[in-house]
Amino acid sequence: MAVSLCLYTSIWADFGDSARADPNEPAAGSDLFEMSIEELMDVRIDTVYGASKRTQSLAEAPASVTVVTAEEIRRYGYRTLADILRSAPGFYINYDRTYHFIGTRGFRRPGDYDSRILLLIDGHRVNENVGDSPMLGTQFPLDVDLIEKVEIIRGPGSSLYGSNAVLAVVNVMTRRGASVQGLELSGQTGSFDTRKGRITYGNRLQNDVELLLSASTYNSDGPELYFEEFDTPDTYDGRVRNDDDQFDNLVAHVSWGDFSLLLAHTGREKGIPTGAWDTVFGDPRTRVWDDTTLVGLTYARALSERYALRARVAYSHYNYDGRYAYDYSEEGDEPYVVLNHDYWKGRWWEGELQVTGSPILGHTMTAGVEMRYNVRQDQANWDEEVYLDDARHSDNWGIYVQDEFKPFEWFMTVAPVGRGV
């Protein structure tokens, strides 16, 4: 059992050149005093949901937040969520030719599964439930072309989100059908025989129903790599072409009134070219398969001018299947290559009920309860004998309350309290 209490206080005022900089303000060369009322109304101010579990402007959020929009994703050509996070100040990405790993604020312990960074899609948890790791590369269950924006919230959020949110929370918001308004076809090609195709249909239908359907496929043979430590005739002079990567992605999003339903699925296969964990260098059978599915339903309704209700339920599954070629021969004997199998299977349900309101003037309170039932948390490893065969299940729950008190425009105090098991 854990109890968390955090207190944030923000004070700002206009002191001429030393005033607090707002990232949403126009560039220094713009003169706000020369803008008309209509032009000032068109100045874009980004909003964020993940910082306080309610929509608020970046200036009001009690955290350091970066928002990457769909326009920026297209402009800079980001192809994975890892590319997007790499562009954010304070974040850095490591890639071992199999998976991407993320560090922030100087924390990136080698061998860690990044379990202290929480990844969400439309508020639904995406960290798998065996190693608690977020999915950042081509195994991420949402095509980046279907991202409306990415909210990157730095700092501890464990009072609201639990222990996975110690370092940061990343909330990915999906596009809606009305933003597509018809049929989209996308095709890409590149070096190393890289190909990607996507077909997307989205529109606002009758009875205020928004529908988005999308399917994507990607395949890349990868480059030829050279590893000096394997530069011998027995290991192909250190050259290998086992860096292939492919995935198939399916997304459906339906919203109607106060309800929103999301289905996201990705199946990915990746070759491992590095001879990792003393595997046979250059053996094309050394590879991993990842299979991720998320089905989430959200209900959000304004109860009155001062209160709002939000409820969500989701089911997710994650499968990891690794095949690793090992040479079990003794020194001087003929090679004796055995394929080792490494396997994870995760299945979990999660739900949340949340109320946001302003019971007292100057206060905005957010209170809720969240639970997760891990139906399966299985691990296995075997080849000619079984080394690991573990099957278990567990459950987690938490209660949180956050009060934002803003008596003046230049003063705000945020006090979140969370308790969970």
Identity (one letter) of the amino acid at 341?
H
Given this model, what pLDDT does residue 421 score? 61
How many residues are given for the chain? 421
Q: Are 143 and 121 in contact (CB under 8 A)?
A: no
Q: What is the mean pLDDT of each run of 10 residues along the chain (421 residues)?
A: 39 33 41 65 73 80 87 93 93 92 80 87 94 93 94 82 87 93 92 94 91 96 93 90 95 95 97 93 95 96 92 97 95 91 97 91 88 96 96 93 77 63 61
Given this model, what pLDDT does residue 169 score? 92
Q: Which residue in 127, 118, 156, 163 sits closest to 2, CA to CA?
A: 163
Given this model, what pLDDT does residue 155 score? 80
Given this model, what pLDDT does residue 34 score? 72
Structural domains counted in the chain = 1
Distance, in Å, from the CA atom of 337 to the CA atom of 279, rounded to the nearest integer, reads 9
Task: Give the three-state DSSP class for 278.
Answer: helix
Given this model, what pLDDT does residue 14 score? 32
Given this model, what pLDDT does residue 6 score? 39
DSSP states along 350-362: EEEEEEEE-SSTT
Contacts 24+ apart (CB under 8 A), 89-98: 90/154, 91/152, 91/168, 93/136, 95/137, 96/274, 96/276, 97/225, 97/243, 97/272, 97/273, 97/274, 98/270, 98/272, 98/274, 98/276, 98/288
Q: Please give the residue range of the domain that contains residue 119.
A: 2-420
Count of Cβ atoms closer than 10 Å to residue 233 Cβ: 6
Q: What is the DSSP letter of 85?
A: H
Given this model, what pLDDT does residue 23 score? 38
Distance, in Å, from the CA atom of 84 to the CA atom of 143, rounded to the nearest integer, reads 13
